[in-house]
Structure 1
């Protein structure tokens, strides 16, 4: 339909190579809304007559009802297919005016921005649901003591609640990054035309308002060329995916028979075709791979745009599948992870048994030497290190060391800061429960600090949901308003 200078039909292989139809289905609805707003504006500035407006709007409303079955044969993209449909329904004298003062260049980026802002709102709601699941699980596991790891070696004792709240903190940052990207996405490019605007007196602010945008991308060249806001969004998705992958890795490890700290719900597990005993964490394993896929989408977009000149280039078409698939992958992965967390079984007894056999109380004991006995921390570090070496060699707990064994270990490192009997009593007194109880620093896994963090997370969660709902309501109201105006003219 667009072939005014080239003669004849495009080569079929070239058409297939150029076509983005298979990726455009998700933006057809937005293309219809954008066309309705643009058409109404053309009527209001006197380009269209009342009857022409009515015929175009009727055709667009028909397209909306036939969503997904518009004939796209021979079209390079959904924009061409929709315009051809409108011309067929409304006639070329009316339908042929719909594209006045508009280009595919501003049209396509308009549609993408409208879709992405909806994706952002949906994803923000899903992240909030995941955080809510984490906080709920934290409330139930404040006393579930477990080892915390550095270098995958037992470091200090903590609680499962503390881990859940740590995930929640990371996800709050993911939420903010994605939420903030909306501000730069929700700016209208419509009316920038191909690259340098139009001589027709269009009202860009009117179409922006009709479609629920917060403002305009004012410079026409910037509006049709720049894709940095989409890159920012996919960057935030890649960071979110890495957070989810880290959560998945922890849960996979802890669900093994060797750890057996948790058990996945059957609804979030798979099995083996050959080994009947298997209960595989397949959703979590795929969560790890999705992080790599989203990062790959980001890399593709960056490589596409890095060497382009100013002005629209067809290379930008290939951003759409990368952007849409990164977005949909993030949505489904977040949704699955919320289900995993909310249905998780926590094996508190197994966690406590492991904690009781752990040397992860060592730092707590060293700090007791500092605070109660006035021992310099570096010497306390050396004392406890020597005792752990002895206990590990004997394969016993620190509390099982006899006073004479402690005395021998202290003599070997020439330490006289504490008597063997005092050290023996300190080792016996340091239980996993006491280890958690004596933590005093802000943000530690002590019961009081966990309560504070849970309360704070709940307050933040309310604000996150409210802010997102306000945006969703704003977009919905703009669509409702647009529909009312359209109905008045048909």
Structure 2
């Protein structure tokens, strides 16, 4: 909190008595918040750079596994097949929003309070525009009382960082689950895992667990600074010395965790065989059958009920959908069977059925903007790479 005195002392050592004049027209109150703004600005720029690096690694990994089917989950229950590249790009967009938020926060960080003095301004004829330009600020504050007591920009900063950490925590949770023996979808780099002190076979995802755990520190920092500020009267109070604890911890934790998650993404490997197997497991393609029937004029609710009964039949028979055929399905169509079979031959309906329960074909049928179809994912990557070059 008394960094201003350290600056004056060092400046005097470097340039002599001229350094002792730095405090004229200034107070601890405006000097400290100026320093905090400068510190926050520079660290947010570094975090922006780290976010860009993480996003680049996501695109590289998405391209590496561009056409790999992967199980998609809702309620942590296998739901529908997607492309692994599509799954991973979901996190790209989370981090992209984080980047956008920080850029917006920087607009409110990069404002100079210098010249507000203790709380009322100064009688000294200073040039606030000059110091603004010299220190690289975009604007100057227009109310001295607000300027020396404002820490909204720190709350915004810590909130932005907490949101980054929340996204990292979600990704970490996914990868911890997917790398488990039961899922066996992801192989994590040995360098970011540890063994057990007693069980020689163990490979524990320590780096991801720590990343997930450190998210709670950011939440604590955010609640801490909100609580610190909630009861402060205008203007400056020494309580504000405590804001650095939350800020420094939030910045340090976010930076190191972004570096770790970048390495995880860069070095992880996907078990292609297992990913394909799970992408069609648990009757994940049942919706495709229901939607086909619906497109053929069967009311969707009826189609939903038909396929639900068909899935129950498959469960009882202990067979996956690709082990069955249209011949099995037709027994559940009821009054709609004749309508379908007048329009298509049985041979053609068998072909349609096989296409419906093929995970790659199912994926490519989701050919809408933002969907998981391969050509849509390729278009998205092309757009993102172009934006990254321009940005």
Q: CA deviation at 1:426?
A: 4.1
Give the Cα–Cα distance (whole angstroms) in 2 for the partners of residues 176 and 85 of structure 1.
Answer: 37
Counterpart residue number, 1:400: 323
Q: Equivalent residues in 2 for 1:33-44 (5 A)?
A: none
Q: Are residues 1:446 and 2:381 paired?
A: no
SS at match of 2:70: strand
Q: Call closer, same or farther: CA 1:112–1:463 in 2, change over 3 Å.
A: farther
Counterpart residue number, 2:286: 362
Is the CA contact (8 Å cut-off) linking 1:248 and 1:284 kept in structure 2? yes
SS at match of 1:157: strand
Q: Call closer, same or farther: CA 1:258–1:229 in 2, change over 3 Å.
A: same
Give the Cα–Cα distance (whole angstroms) in 1 for the partners of residues 106 and 219 of structure 2.
Answer: 20
Give the Cα–Cα distance (whole angstroms) in 2 for the partners of residues 311 and 361 of structure 1.
Answer: 62
Counterpart residue number, 2:196: 272
Give the Cα–Cα distance (whole angstroms) in 1 for the partners of residues 40 and 142 of structure 2.
Answer: 20
Is the CA contact (8 Å cut-off) linking 2:57 and 2:265 kept in structure 1? yes
Q: How many residues align?
A: 385
Q: Are residues 1:322 and 2:249 paired?
A: no
TM-score (structure 2 length as normaliser): 0.92
Give the Cα–Cα distance (whole angstroms) in 1 for the partners of residues 330 and 139 of structure 2.
Answer: 75
SS at match of 2:98: helix
Is the CA contact (8 Å cut-off) linking 1:390 and 1:409 kept in structure 2? no
SS at match of 2:82: strand
SS at match of 1:194: coil
SS at match of 1:290: helix
Q: CA deviation at 1:214?
A: 1.0
Q: CA deviation at 1:95?
A: 4.7
Give the Cα–Cα distance (whole angstroms) in 2 for the partners of residues 304 and 362 of structure 1.
Answer: 53
Is the CA contact (8 Å cut-off) linking 1:365 and 1:426 kept in structure 2? no
Counterpart residue number, 1:353: 277
Counterpart residue number, 2:354: 428
Counterpart residue number, 1:233: 157
Counterpart residue number, 1:478: none
CA offsets, 1:274-308, max 9 Å, x none? 21211111111111112111011011111111121
Counterpart residue number, 1:388: 311
CA offsets, 1:64-98, max 9 Å, x none? xxxxxxxxxxxxx333344355567777x655433
Counterpart residue number, 1:78: 3
SS at match of 2:80: strand
Give the Cα–Cα distance (whole angstroms) in 2 for the partners of residues 402 and 452 of structure 1.
Answer: 34
Is the CA contact (8 Å cut-off) linking 2:82 and 2:279 kept in structure 1? no
Is the CA contact (8 Å cut-off) linking 1:406 and 1:423 kept in structure 2? no
Is the CA contact (8 Å cut-off) linking 2:322 and 2:358 kept in structure 1? no
Is the CA contact (8 Å cut-off) linking 2:221 and 2:250 kept in structure 1? yes
Give the Cα–Cα distance (whole angstroms) in 1 for the partners of residues 22 and 368 of structure 2.
Answer: 65
Instruction: Provide the alpha-carbon RMSD of the alignment.
Output: 2.2
Is the CA contact (8 Å cut-off) linking 2:367 and 2:375 kept in structure 1? no
Name which of 117, 140, 144 aligns with 1:216: 140
Give the Cα–Cα distance (whole angstroms) in 2 for the partners of residues 215 and 122 of structure 1.
Answer: 21
Counterpart residue number, 1:48: none
Q: Call closer, same or farther: CA 1:95–1:175 in 2, change over 3 Å.
A: closer
SS at match of 2:227: helix
Q: CA deviation at 1:460?
A: 2.2
Q: Call closer, same or farther: CA 1:119–1:403 in 2, change over 3 Å.
A: closer
Counterpart residue number, 1:17: none
Name which of 146, 169, 187 aligns with 1:263: 187
Name which of 37, 43, 46 aligns with 1:113: 37
SS at match of 2:21: coil
Give the Cα–Cα distance (whole angstroms) in 2 for the partners of residues 387 and 176 of structure 1.
Answer: 47
Counterpart residue number, 1:31: none
SS at match of 1:276: coil
Q: CA deviation at 1:378?
A: 1.4
Counterpart residue number, 1:460: 387
Q: Are residues 1:244 and 2:165 paired?
A: no
TM-score (structure 1 length as normaliser): 0.74
Q: Are residues 1:281 and 2:205 paired?
A: yes
CA offsets, 1:257-282, max 9 Å, x none? 11111111112212212212111111
